[in-house]
Amino acid sequence: MELGVVFPQSEIGNDPVAVRDFAQAVEELSFSHLLIYDHVLGADPDRPGGWTGPYDKDTAFHEVFVVLGYLAAITKTVELGTAVLVLPQRQTALVAKQAAEVDILSGGRLRLGVGTGWNAIEYEALGEDFQNRGKRQVEQIAVMRALWEQDVVSFSGKYHTVSQAGLNPRPARRIPLWFGGGADALLARAARHGDGWMPLMGPGKEAACSLDKLRSFLAEEKRDFSTFGVQAQAQVRGGNPEKWATHAEKWRALGATHLAIATMNAGHLTVDDHIAAISLYKDAVTEAAKG
């Protein structure tokens, strides 16, 4: 099981040196991957009707593709991923272009994790339909893959039309697409169209049940679960080395291939605090895995 880190979006601040230091520390500590969350806009809590979402206008979110381009330039080996990009609120051909560029500039290190999101206000502001986001995501995947793989694309679907056009430059490899979420429809979609799944729950009965369903969906597609990725997450907050190690072992036993640690909301005030936390986590989990 590969260990990774979640980019501390809401706490890293605006100093590019802090972003650089954190990303390079992730690589120097031999983590395999660095994941970044995506939101474009935050709602005002004082809006009519109020706001109860987990993020609002006061929560900082750096734009994912710009950050990934920067990270591609200042790192050499760490895999760069989104967890998740809210795909249906973005223009499909533009996402294909941006993802191709990041993959090229990083030397083939992008893993594109996609989801449908939950923030209808954000969809409205970006001019996309919140209600059909799941169905539209399926078509988006087809369009993006066609643009990545074909010199000239002609596509006519329910939501997209491409009339003999193509991307240039195109990625030199097949960009991996992973799906985040927990609904049965999402699991089926991941099995049919994706390279991996990103669960939103902990390593308990719900996760075990979802993984059983995922195996069944993969079997229906004549795909092997052993070649399919499962990206879990852990939290520094509320834990200690023993709890982190136990949590990681539970995910390992369930079949997770990747596990990323998030350091946000744990009281860390500086980038050095975040780096110290991921180092402590890695030591605890790695030592425990040695037995």
Q: Which domains does the chain have, with CATH numbers?
A: 2-289 (3.20.20.30)
- What is the per-residue pLDDT for 158? 97
Q: How far apart are CA 252 and CA 268, in angstroms?
A: 27
Q: What does the alpha-carbon distance between residue 209 and residue 3 come to, in Å, rounded to a whole number?
A: 23
DSSP H helical ranges for the chain: 16-28, 64-74, 92-105, 120-125, 133-149, 184-193, 205-220, 241-254, 271-289
Distance, in Å, from the CA atom of 190 to the CA atom of 108, rounded to the nearest integer, reads 22
**Segment 242-288, tens digit of pLDDT:** 999 999 999 999 999 999 999 999 999 999 999 999 999 999 999 88
A 10 A CB-CB count for 179 gives: 26
Average pLDDT over residues 101-109: 98
**pLDDT tens per residue across span 90-102:** 999 999 999 999 9
CA–CA gap between residue 54 and residue 59 (Å, rounded): 9
- Extract the tokens encoding 266: 């744990």
